[in-house]
């Protein structure tokens, strides 16, 4: 697929909506399509964060481990959302495990390539950072609501 084809494939993705055409073309050069089957791991908590994912279809569970070894669901993300900010934040270790809930399709970016790109193009790096801060803020707010519901006993565990 050409870079232009990739641009058309992911241009409507919410995370990239305010990017310039030039920045979309640059990102398209490093985008790789991926698919995951239900149960497939996209990332394992504590391992090196070597990718960033734009989800086009399907759902991904963000999970963390408990002391007893059980997996605790933090949140599910779906179409138009992203998986991964750990690629940007040293020491570049996944903060959660990310597992496909159902069939997932999307685009992935190699983390080192993306970090290098952000260093070379401050404008693009700043845009991605602002978008990731929005994602982090939304996910923290969602987690906070979930904890309040658990405390009130209104949310099943």
Instruction: Round to whole Å and give the CA distance between 37 and 112.
Output: 25
Each residue's pLDDT, cut to its tens digit, for the chain (157 residues) gives 555 555 566 667 888 888 898 998 999 999 999 999 999 999 999 999 999 999 999 999 999 988 888 888 889 999 999 999 899 999 999 999 999 999 999 999 999 999 999 999 999 999 999 999 998 898 888 888 877 877 787 656 5
- pLDDT value for 10: 63
Instruction: Round to whole Å and give the CA distance between 100 and 58.
Output: 8
- pLDDT value for 122: 96
Instruction: Round to whole Å and give the CA distance between 97 and 114.
Output: 21
- pLDDT value for 13: 81
**What domains are there in the chain, each with its CATH number?**
3-152 (2.60.120.10)
Q: Tell me the pTM.
A: 0.86
- pLDDT value for 78: 96
């Amino acid at each position: 697929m050409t870079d232009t084809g990739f641009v058309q494939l992911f241009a409507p993705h919410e995370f990239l909506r305010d990017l310039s055409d030039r920045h979309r073309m640059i990102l398209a050069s490093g985008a790789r399509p991926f698919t995951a089957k239900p149960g497939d791991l996209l990332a394992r908590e504590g391992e090196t964060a070597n990718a960033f994912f734009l989800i086009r279809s399907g759902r991904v569970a963000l999970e963390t481990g408990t002391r007893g070894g059980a997996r605790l669901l933090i949140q599910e993300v779906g179409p138009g959302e992203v998986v991964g900010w750990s690629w940007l934040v040293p020491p570049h270790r996944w903060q959660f495990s990310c597992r496909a809930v159902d069939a997932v399709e999307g685009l992935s970016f190699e983390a080192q390539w993306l970090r290098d790109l952000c260093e070379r193009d401050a404008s693009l790096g700043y845009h991605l950072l602002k978008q990731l801060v929005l994602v982090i803020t939304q996910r923290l707010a969602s987690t906070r609501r979930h904890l309040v519901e658990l405390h009130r006993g209104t949310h099943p565990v």
